[in-house]
Amino acid sequence: MQEISPHKDRFFFYYALGLLAVVLVGFAPSFFARLVFQQQSVPAYLHLHGALLTAWFVLLVTQAWLVRSSNVALHRQLGRFIAAYAVLVVIGSLMATLNFVPRELAAGATFDTDMRDVNSQQAVGISFLTFATGLVCLNIASVIGFALLLALAVVFRGSADMHKRFVLFASVSIIAPPVARISRMLADTEQGPIIPLGLLLFVLAIVIYDYSRLKKLHRATLISLGLLLAINAVAGLIALSPLGRAFVMSLA
């Protein structure tokens, strides 16, 4: 069964809007409305990271809207810029991740400090080293997943069905930070089911869409899921290993 025309299909446009909404809500207290929430000041590079990430999801919505509006020519022209812009997203994400450890250590934490005394909204009952190792490894994995899936989107840009799925899964791979902020709002912690459930909902939305249109998973969906699962599994194993802890300690 063939999918309906992409120009008449609303799913990918509203999916992109949903991702942008999560970013706007999740980053509202610490970025968009920080004066209202009276948040402490943060380094300039985190502001840059927030701006780069937000702009990515704005561009995602713009591209989906252009396709829905049948303005494919402009969509393709803008796509060349977005492919280059993705490099800035990767750099900004790595910059924020690799500076997390030295920033917290400079604020007075040690690797043995319980996270309760570092930021109880992130975790409690584990050491800063354990938390930081998991965070750094999984964040790097998300950036790798983003880059690889975007590369596949470029390679398969001639196939609309492949291209749009790779782009969406690439975007889902970097949506965890704002989902984590929403978890803080709802449960006052990043521990618990909200983050994995939030990510699972985005994945299930594409899976359900595929089955409703094709009666099976699209090849791009299978590739994306396999790639992300493999990357995150490796990252999880590294985070539990002496190698992962040694890498994080080297960031001090």
- What are the structural domain ranges in the chain? 11-250
C-alpha distances in Å from residue 14, one per residue of 21, 60, 68, 94, 124 = 10, 11, 10, 28, 36
Question: How confident is the model at residue 52, as a pLDDT?
Answer: 94
**What single DSSP character describes residue 68?**
H
The rounded distance, in Å, linking the Cα atoms of 248 and 130 is 9
Residue with tokens 């402490």: 40
Query: Quick one: which of 216, 175, 231, 219 has its CA closest to 199?
Result: 175
What are residue 7's phi and psi, to 5 degrees?
-75, -20
Residue pair 210/218 in contact by the 8 Å Cβ criterion: yes
Q: Does residue 247 register a pLDDT over 90? A: yes
The rounded distance, in Å, linking the Cα atoms of 193 and 206 is 20
Q: Does residue 7 register a pLDDT over 70? A: no
**9 or 77, greater pLDDT:** 77
Residue pair 248/110 in contact by the 8 Å Cβ criterion: no
Give one word for 125, left, alpha or beta, with left for phi > 0 and alpha for psi -120 to 50. left
The rounded distance, in Å, linking the Cα atoms of 24 and 186 is 15
Give the SS3 label for residue 39: coil
Question: Which pTM does this prediction carry?
Answer: 0.92
**Tens digits of residue pLDDT in 165-208:** 999 999 999 999 999 999 999 999 998 899 999 999 999 999 99
**Tens digits of residue pLDDT in 93-143:** 999 999 999 999 999 999 999 999 999 999 999 999 999 999 999 999 999
**133 or 30, greater pLDDT:** 133
Give the SS3 label for residue 244: helix
Residue 3's pLDDT band, with cuts at 50, 70 and 90, is very low
Instruction: List the beta bridge partners of residue 127.
Output: 114
